[in-house]
Amino acid sequence: MDSTMSTKSKWWLSGASIPIMVWTLVPIVWIFATSLKSDAALGDQSKNTFGNFWPKSPTWANYKLIFNGGAKDLFLPALWHSIVICLSATIISVVLATFCAYAISRLDFPGKKLILTTALAVSFFPVIAMVTPLFNLWRQIGLFDTIPGLIIPYLALTLPLSIWILSAFFQQIPWEMEQAAQVDGATSWQAFRKVVAPLAAPGVFTTAIIAFFTAWNDFVFSLNLTSSNARTVPAALAFFTGASQFTQPTGAICAAAVVVTIPVVILVLLFQRRIVSGLTSGAVKG
């Protein structure tokens, strides 16, 4: 594909990436700029430059606050909880959804429509109405404020989306390869493991990224089903306080957002490599 592309269209595509990056990055840089502002600079235009964008005297005070200062005990455990809980939920959910979506798009069995419809229905019930009964149930069975107690609701949050994305993805995989394997005497399971799984890898990793961010973003479950042993970053941010009780912790929240984004970017880089390699291997051609 790359070899057939003319130099002109290569340049055109590189050119098109510039506005995309600007649109994406300006708000990111803005969050970073805000994290470098002192409380005084936040509302005072004379202390900022470049159209009230960048602080004239950047300060690391907000980062000190979240790593050493008052927010330390709140932020670092929350970051750890977020990573553990969201990764676990993502892995479990993607594995379960892969099996489920494979069955839906490849096998003939009654109840497929029921599974897809249920997935849609449960994922779109307003979370806010779900959280109170879940809170009572969790207290009774001892799951309140535990890591599994948050992984389980996140599975419910990410599974439906994963099942739908993967079902759509699996439908478009050229299945001649699997049939060929079955003709050669492989069972359904062997055909799945040896032939389909490598073909499905890009879809699976795309789903993993989306499932991870869905869990990562959750605020309502974390706020209501945890208190300190499993609280994740979005809920912990709600408990941030400023330098004094009466200043809004805008800078600290932005600093936390910047710090929290770094592991996510690393994760995306790792996953994204799999997407690219999977998508460019032309194993099914011919």
Q: Beta strand 48-49 with 54-55: parallel, antiparallel or unpaired? A: antiparallel
Question: Closest separation between CB of residue 21 and other proteins, Å?
Answer: 6
Q: Decide whether 85 or 233 has the Cβ nearer to other proteins.
A: 233
Q: Indicate the residue among 72 and 121 with the shorter CB distance to other proteins.
A: 121
CA angle 250/261/26 to nearest 5° reads 70
Nearer to other proteins, 132 or 229 (CB): 132
Dihedral in degrees, nearest 10, Cα atoms 205, 106, 196, 115: 30
Helix or strand or coil: residue 277? helix
Q: Closer to other proteins at the Cβ: 30 or 80? A: 30
Q: Closest approach of Cβ 13 to other proteins, in Å?
A: 5
Burial class from Cβ neighbours inside 10 Å (0-12, 13-18, 19+) for residue 201 reads middle
Residue 65 Cβ vs other proteins, minimum distance, rounded to whole Å:
16
Q: What residues contact 253, with CB distance under 8 A and at least 6 apart?
A: 237, 240
Q: What is the DSSP letter of 87?
A: H
Cβ-based nearer residue to other proteins, 27 or 142: 27
Q: Smallest distance from the beta carbon of 151 to other proteins, in angstroms?
A: 10
Least CB distance to other proteins at residue 166 (A): 9
Q: Which is nearer to other proteins, 19 or 245 (CB)?
A: 19
Beta strands in 15-75 (DSSP E): 48-49, 54-55
Q: At closest approach, how far in Å is the CB of 53 from other proteins?
A: 4
Cβ burial, residue 55 (10 Å; 0-12/13-18/19+): buried
181-to-173, 186, 192, 196, 279 alpha-carbon distances in Å: 15, 6, 10, 10, 21
